[in-house]
Amino acid sequence: DTGVSQDPRHKITKRGQNVTFRCDPISEHNRLYWYRQTLGQGPEFLTYFQNEAQLEKSRLLSDRFSAERPKGSFSTLEIQRTEQGDSAMYLCASSPNRGRNDEQFFGPGTRLTVL
Amino acid sequence: EDQVTQSPEALRLQEGESSSLNCSYTVSGLRGLFWYRQDPGKGPEFLFTLYSAGEEKEKERLKATLTKKESFLHITAPKPEDSATYLCAVQAPFRDNYGQNFVFGPGTRLSVLP
């Protein structure tokens, strides 16, 4: 399978705990995005990498959230001191850098439940 | 601020009953408008990209069109397997040659009954 993969698919944690999610993009894609999606809403942009550089970070993103993409390959999203409001689907997407061809390919998501 | 709204929120169609979904947007300098399909519990699946007013794209029973303020997704003779949430997103212009931001609408939940 050459699509975007995410791990884990589901995560249940207690409030105050730290969690980390992993995303493996399509291998030749150098752009990687993280989104958060709650029920009945569209994905909300969190952050964007071009290769290993984090170029954009949503102003709405709490400082409890951090993302990395070492060596421009896989990426991790960490949430520290989780809160119940962090419960959501966390989506990763990647896209090639082919000029105007900016369509994103999404992974299956990681569903986070904070108790 | 870049904004995207979609209507209707939900739509129920009989199989074969054609209809259209609307995506209205406000963005300073549209770089691209995207349509995605999302099935429950899955990530969005790319359908179309539109770049300029007047552009149209087709794929099977779906046709997307774009004006300066909105986009339509026309569904012709839908089948039950077309049931999904359809998401619209706009891409904001580059900032400093690197910035990118995609703003998604809330989606339209389509149900096609046999």
Q: B101 vs A56: CB contact, 8 Å cut-off?
A: yes
Q: What tens digit of pLDDT does each residue of B37-77 get?
A: 999 989 999 999 999 999 999 999 999 999 999 999 999 99
> Residue B95 pLDDT more than 70?
no
Across B94-107, average pLDDT: 71
Say if CB A102 and CB B49 are below 8 A apart: yes
Tokens of A47: 């952050």
Cα A101 to its chain centre, rounded Å, is 21
Q: Which residues does chain A have within 8 Å of residue B31's beta carbon, measured at their own beta carbons?
A: 102
Query: A82, A114 in Cβ contact below 8 A?
Result: yes
Residues 6+ apart with CB under 8 A from B2: B25, B26, B27, B28, B90, B92, B101, B103
- How many contacts does A have with B, using Cβ atoms within 8 A? 69
Give the tens place of pLDDT for each residue, A54-82.
888 887 678 899 999 998 899 999 999 99
A49 pLDDT above the threshold of 80: yes
Nearest to B99 by CA among A70, A57, A104: A57
| Position B95, amino acid | R
Give how far A86 is from chain B: nearest CA, Å.
17
The residue among B88, B104, B109 with the most chain A CBs within 10 A of its CB, best to mutate, is B104
Chain-chain contact of A93 with B87 (C-beta, under 8 angstroms): no
Chain A residues with CB under 8 Å of B103 CB are: 45
Say if the Cβ atoms of B34 and A104 lie within 8 Å: yes
What CA–CA distances, in Å, run from B71 to A64, B19, B88, B100? 36, 14, 9, 21
Q: Do A43 and B44 touch (CB under 8 A)?
A: yes
| pLDDT, tens digit, 9 for 90 and up, residues A5-42 | 999 999 999 999 999 999 999 998 989 999 999 998 99
| Chain A partners within 8 Å of B45 (Cβ) | 106
Q: Which residues of B touch A35 (CB under 8 A)?
A: 104
